[in-house]
Amino acid sequence: MSQTSALMGFVHRRRRGAELFLLVLALAVGVGAYAAVGIGVEGSVPVDIVSYGGWLTGLVVAAHVAVRFVAPYADPVLLPLVAALNGLGLAVIHRLDLTDGTTFARQQLTWMTLGVLLFIGALVVLRDHRVLTRFTYTFGLSAILLLLLPLVPGVGKTINGAKIWIGVGPFSFQPGEVAKVLLVVAFAGYLVLHRDALALAGRRVVFVDLPRGRDLGPILAMWLVSLGILVFQKDLGSSLLFFGLFLVMLYVATERPGWLVVGSALFLSGALFAWRAFGHVQDRVDIWLHPFKYYNNPTPPFSDQIVETMFGMAWGGLIGRGFGEGDPTRISYAESDFIMGAIGEELGLTGVIAVLLIYGLIVERALRAALISRDGFGKLVAVGLASVVALQVFVVIGGVTRLIPLTGLTTPFLSYGGSSLVANWVIIALLLRISDQARRPIPDLSGQDEEPDEMNTQVIKL
């Protein structure tokens, strides 16, 4: 499609002005929400509104300027969407801080600063995403090492029963968040090389093309890794996320639904096995089916989090109680996994739908970048990153609103959590890079009137 349009002389516009305008709106959301929290909870506009707003504006403008210079054709909608979510998340965390006496928002702002710096760094250093194919196996190996790290005695920390944390000085870090980005790149690099073998060889069994036995190797390996995360780290969410991500990318690379059949069968058998073998998985399912049975339980399992979230969201109703008028601190971990509960209570169904639409748009823009990308690797990375966001949002918000059993994952850009925030900013940098490459006009090969710096970015080193 992109080729056709290019042949017809269609050239994507840069639309950086549109991005700037949308960023102003996003900042209005972030700073406005922060002011509303001050008025709602303390009765006055926060005294640090200028410095806070200035800092937020500085970060957003820095990101925008970086995009303007190093990725001028990048999608203009993604950055404003992310800025709005991040700003809203900060305000909600700040609101919870005011009641709880914690300082999560301040730390989150520090992490956001780091995230934006990494975002700019990634865009500046990585002028062409195809360079990443060189690091397929390095990234794959690093991802697995990072995933194993929390299991190493002395380094790993167990928080709330899940061994997904490592302690670095005073900070806790979830290496799984970084691993998911590395895994997407590694999968994409692997699949783009082996897609023909995976796609063409195989056997047809009852209308479904099943892959060859030897090609099942990687998918079985991934299945085992996911199961390992589930068994040893007791992290249902990440396990589901990694396996689902791999399945989607495999399907896109090979264009064969047969992989989905095999993968789903493996997933279901794994889930069934986990349900029968592990008490904590059974508890999660029981709580999902009968949340009120375990409410105010004297002994575990507890369902207080999910029931309080349901009560809170119901109380919020259509337009919410307003900042400061609800009681979201009744939900434990409202600032991280359960931030949607706090938003549902104080901003209502309106706020929840708005947030879901923003996530939907992020996924849509990422998939659009995948569609128009001119190279298979770019397509796969973009699809993978889109799936990461979509699956993560579905698993965590679905869990919080009792659509599916609850699994621990952070809500991208909203939840308190440094590793997640930083990793997600890098995901957006990669998506912008891919869309920049895809939307950029094809260089005129006659070599006349070409800007030299644009020619440079078209050099492909593999």
Q: Which positions touch another protein (CB under 8 A)?
A: 1, 248, 251-253, 255, 292, 295-296, 307, 310-318, 326-327, 330, 344, 348-349, 352-353, 356, 359-360, 363-364, 367, 370-371, 376, 379-380, 383, 386-387, 390-391, 393-394, 397-398, 401-403
- Smallest separation, CB 183 to another protein (Å): 17
- Smallest separation, CB 363 to another protein (Å): 5
Structure tokens given for 411? 């809500």
| Beta bridge mates, 205 | 208
- Smallest separation, CB 268 to another protein (Å): 17
Based on CB atoms, which residue is closest to another protein, 56 or 313? 313
What is the C-alpha separation between 179 and 103, in angstroms, rounded?
27
CA dist 164 to 141, 237, 460, Å? 18, 11, 38
Based on CB atoms, which residue is closest to another protein, 147 or 372? 372
Cα torsion at 151, 157, 163, 164 (round to 10°)? Answer: -90
Structure tokens given for 252? 């896109």
- Smallest separation, CB 155 to another protein (Å): 35
With CA atoms as reference, report the closest residue to 16 among 435, 425, 430. 435
Q: Please, are residues 150 and 163 in contact by the beta-carbon 8 Å criterion?
A: yes
- Smallest separation, CB 130 to another protein (Å): 15
What is the C-alpha separation between 319 and 220, in angstroms, rounded?
47
Based on CB atoms, which residue is closest to another protein, 253 or 423? 253
Q: Please, are residues 87 and 33 in contact by the beta-carbon 8 Å criterion?
A: yes
- Smallest separation, CB 413 to another protein (Å): 16
Q: Tell me, letter by letter, the H, E, C secondary structure of 284-312.
A: HHHHHHCHHHHCCCCCCCCCHHHHHHHHH
Based on CB atoms, which residue is closest to another protein, 251 or 302? 251
Based on CB atoms, which residue is closest to another protein, 162 or 395? 395
- Smallest separation, CB 267 to another protein (Å): 14
Cα torsion at 142, 143, 144, 149 (round to 10°)? Answer: 80
- Smallest separation, CB 309 to another protein (Å): 9
Strands 162-168 and 156-159: antiparallel
Residue 251 DSSP label:
H
Based on CB atoms, which residue is closest to another protein, 140 or 326? 326
Based on CB atoms, which residue is closest to another protein, 186 or 307? 307
108 CB-near residues (< 8 Å, 6+ apart)? 89, 90, 93, 416, 418, 421
- Smallest separation, CB 359 to another protein (Å): 7
- Smallest separation, CB 161 to another protein (Å): 25
What is the C-alpha separation between 237 and 164, in angstroms, rounded?
11
Based on CB atoms, which residue is closest to another protein, 145 or 314? 314
Based on CB atoms, which residue is closest to another protein, 236 or 313? 313
With CA atoms as reference, report the closest residue to 82 among 105, 59, 65. 59
253 CB-near residues (< 8 Å, 6+ apart)? 191, 192, 195, 198, 199, 376, 380
Based on CB atoms, which residue is closest to another protein, 146 or 390? 390
Number of residues that make up the chain: 462
Strands 171-173 and 208-210: unpaired
204 three-class SS: strand
- Smallest separation, CB 428 to another protein (Å): 17
Based on CB atoms, which residue is closest to another protein, 296 or 448? 296
Q: Please, are residues 301 and 287 in contact by the beta-carbon 8 Å criterion?
A: yes
